[in-house]
Amino acid sequence: MSRSLSPWQALMLGGAVLVGLTLATLGLFAVGNRQWFWTDTFHLRVGFRQIHGVERGTPVRVFGRNAGEIEDVQMPDSPDGQVTLVLRMDGKLHSLIRTDAFAQIVPVGMVGGKVLEINPGSKEAPVVEDNAVITSRPVNDPIDEAGKVLEALNQEKANVHELVNNTNTLVRQGQKTLASVQQATEAVKRLPGVSSYVEDANELLYRPNCERSPTWFAESELFAPGRAQLTDEGRQRLRELVPQLSSLTKNDGAEMVILAYADRKTTLDAEQAQVLTQKQSEAVRDFLKQAGAVYKKYWVFPRKIRLHGFGLDAPPVAEKDNPPAPALGILVFVPQK
C-alpha cells in the first residue's frame, strides 16, 4: 500500500537531493584539483625561458617530496620574456621557503617526465610572502649536459694534442737557454697530477685575487701520531666539513689546497717528515673526493686540488687559528671578480 508525499515532504526531499548533488560535485572538483577547499596553501611564481614540457598539474617538490603543483602556466607578453609558472604550495611548508630560494626543472625516470624542484634557501633569509617571485636555475636536462661533457672532452683532447706538439718542438730544438728550461718546468708543474707536488709555498698559499677559506686540524684530530691513515674520529671530523667544502668548490675557478707539517721535536728526520706529511695530505684528499666534498663540473671534471707536505718546515701562513705542529690545513681559494 503506497502513500503519496505531501507537497511539503516533496519539497524537503528535493532539497535534500539537491544539497547532496552539490556536495558530491564540490567533492569531485576538489579531488580533481588535488586539494580540499579548506586546505592551507600559498602561492609562488617563477619564470623560465624554456619550460621543457612542464604543464598544469606538474608536481612541485621540496627536499625530494611532493609539496604542491603547478597551478597555471602564463606565457610572456613578448618574445624575449619568460614563461611564468604559478605554483600552489602546501601551507605547512611555508616557513621553510626563504627569499633566496630557487627553482629548477629536473627530469624523473627514463621516459622524459619532469618535476619542479625547489631549493628552499638559507635559514638566515626571511620567509617568502604569499605570491612571491623566486629565482630560477637553468633546466637540468641530461641531453644538454651530455652535450656539454662531449664538448669539454673534445676541448681537453685538443689541449693534450697541443701539449704533445709543443713538447716535440721543445725536444727538437734541444739548445734552449736556462731561462727557457725554467719556463718549461713551470708549465709542467701546473699539469694534472704534477701540480699536487708544487714546491713554491708562497705561490701555493698567497692568492691576492682570491677569497681564502681555511680550516685547520691538529694531527691528533685526524691521525694517530706519526701515521698517515685516518682514524674513525678523523673521518667524522672531515665528514662534517663536506657540505661547507662542496659549497665553496662550486664556485668557478675554485681551488683546494691541502697541506701538512710535522713537529720539529719529532724523532723523524727531514726526509721522513716530508714523506709523512705528503701522505697525510693525500689521505685527506682521497677521503674528501670520495665523500663528495669536491665539486665536479659536468659530473666529470673535479676542481683542482693541490697538496704540499712541508715536513719539518712550518708553512708561511699568517693565520691566528692554525694550530702548532704537527697539524694539517684545508684551504679553499675562490677567485673574486
Rounded distance between C-alpha atoms, residue 211 and residue 255, angstroms: 11
Rounded distance between C-alpha atoms, residue 260 and residue 274, angstroms: 9
Residue boundaries of the structural domains of the chain: 41-140, 141-189, 195-335
Please provide the distance, in angstroms rounded to a whole number, between the alpha carbons at the two ends of the chain. Answer: 95
Determine what percent of the chain is predicted with pLDDT higher than 70: 72
For residue 326, say if its preceding peptide bond is cis, omega within 30 degrees of 0.
yes
pTM: 0.44
Q: Residue 66 has which C-alpha cell?
A: 611532493
* Per-chain mean pLDDT for the chain: 80
Rounded distance between C-alpha atoms, residue 73 and residue 212, angstroms: 43
- pLDDT score, position 163: 64
With cut-offs at 50, 70 and 90, classify the pLDDT of residue 236: very high
With cut-offs at 50, 70 and 90, classify the pLDDT of residue 8: confident
Alpha helices for 43-141 (secondary structure H): none
Rounded distance between C-alpha atoms, residue 310 and residue 262, angstroms: 7
Q: Percentage helix, strand, coil, to 5, in the chain?
A: 40, 25, 35
Q: For residue 168, which amino acid is it?
A: N
DSSP for 288-309, please give it. Answer: HHHHT-S-EETTTEEPEEEEEE
Query: Taking residues 299-322, what's their average pLDDT?
Result: 78
- pLDDT score, position 56: 93
Alpha helices for the chain (secondary structure H): 7-32, 142-173, 178-189, 201-205, 219-222, 232-249, 270-291
Rounded distance between C-alpha atoms, residue 166 and residue 160, angstroms: 10
H/E run at residue 56? none
Rounded distance between C-alpha atoms, residue 152 and residue 63, angstroms: 31
37 has pLDDT over 80: no
Residue whose C-alpha is closest to residue 231's, from 189, 239, 25 = 239
Strand partners, 297: 301
With cut-offs at 50, 70 and 90, classify the pLDDT of residue 195: very low
Rounded distance between C-alpha atoms, residue 84 and residue 98, angstroms: 19
Instruction: Please name the fold of domain 195-335.
Output: 60s Ribosomal Protein L30; Chain: A; (3.30.1330)
Which phi and psi (to 5°) does residue 65 adopt? -115, 155
Largest CA distance in the chain: 125
Q: Which of 229-243, 278-292, 310-324 has the lowest mean pLDDT?
A: 310-324
Contact by Cβ (8 Å): 196, 305? yes
**pLDDT digits 0-9 by tens, 139-189:** 755 555 555 566 666 666 666 666 666 666 665 665 555 555 455 454 544
320 has pLDDT over 60: no
193 has pLDDT over 80: no
